[in-house]
Amino acid sequence: MLLADKVVVVTGGAGFLGKQFCAAVAEQGGIAVVADIDAEAAARVAEEIVSAYPGHAEAAALDITSHASVSALIAELMEKHGRIDAVVNNAYPRNRNYGRKLEDVTYEDFCDNVDSHLGGYFLMAQQFGLAFRRQGGGNIINMASIYGVMAPRFEVYADTPMTMPVEYAAIKSAVVQLTRYFAQYFKGDGIRVNCLSPGGILDEQPEAFLQRYKTYCNSKGMLDSRDVNGSLLFLLSDASRYVTGQNLIVDDGFSL
Ligand SMILES: NC(=O)c1ccc[n+]([C@@H]2O[C@H](COP(=O)([O-])OP(=O)(O)OC[C@H]3O[C@@H](n4cnc5c(N)ncnc54)[C@H](O)[C@@H]3O)[C@@H](O)[C@H]2O)c1
């Protein structure tokens, strides 16, 4: 068991990657806190995990863009468990216009999406970082993306409605740098801060896109949502005890 009895908060825990992360934490003996703005979905995910791993998941309502909501979650978990071992900054807030091509992105939408996603990741890392400092240590993992470190390969999206949103590049590159900032700031407080950058994850994308994407990869191409679990568990566990301020890229070589 890599995470025996560790309390691990996963924001966006009811989402596509989040629910796999929560199940992986529970499987390794941790207590996964499925923290999501969609409280009903979080309850469903927690219930499913608990049926396989009794006592190893619980749901929490959380809005990462609300100081009151973040503080309330920290207080509630401290009261219940006495400590919080780790937080995975994994929620994916975006407004209804998110994902448009560059020409169609308004100033307001750009700012709104950067606000909620990057601002929310900052708020979570700040508040959990301070709580971790008070308790004498903790572990923060920020979900970034290959598009935080490489220029987009727009050619893979040709003839599909998909694109790599300009907000995403701004947000995820900033998340990588925030990770270094927080790791440096909390040095000496027993706090590690790293980020995890997956490449594309299979989710019913058009076949032509998948084929083009795969030509840049080592073997598999787009990954399954479970393929990122091993790297997350490494960063959460003591196996990575002396790793801090790093960005672990899991993309089957796409960004090389
Ligand atoms: N899916 C991919 O291909 C991929 C690739 C690389 C990186 N990532 C990153 O992984 C993370 C998760 O992505 P995903 O694809 O699972 O997203 P998703 O949309 O499936 O899930 C995101 C979850 O976040 C929740 N959420 C939204 N706003 C919130 C808020 N304000 N507070 C709390 N929860 C909120 C949603 O309810 C949802 O359950 C994101 O950071 C994303 O950028 C995803």
Q: How far, in Å, is the centroid of ligand 1 from the Cα of 130? A: 24
For 16-57, how does the pLDDT look when each residue is reduced to its tens digit (9 = 90+)? 999 999 999 999 999 999 999 999 999 999 999 999 999 999
Superfamily of domain 7-250: NAD(P)-binding Rossmann-like Domain (3.40.50.720)
- Mean pLDDT to the nearest integer, 7-15: 99
Task: Determine the residue of 17, 172, 178, 255 to mutate for testing ligand 1's pocket, defined as the one with the most ligand atoms within 8 A of the Cβ atom.
Answer: 17
> Would you kindly state where each structural domain of the chain is located, as residue ranges?
7-250
Alpha carbon nearest to ligand 1 atom 29, residue: 93
Q: Is the CB of 88 under 6 A from ligand 1?
A: no
Q: Is the CB of 13 under 6 A from ligand 1?
A: no
Here the tokens at position 197 are 């950058």
For 152-189, how does the pLDDT look when each residue is reduced to its tens digit (9 = 90+)? 999 999 999 999 999 999 999 999 999 999 999 999 99
Q: How far, in Å, is the centroid of ligand 1 from the Cα of 149? A: 19
Q: So which residues are the catalytic ones?
A: 168
Smallest Cα–Cα separation from 88: which of 139, 42, 136?
139
Contacts of 145 (CB under 8 A, 6+ apart): 168, 172, 197, 198, 199
Q: How far apart are CA 28 and CA 53, in angstroms?
A: 10
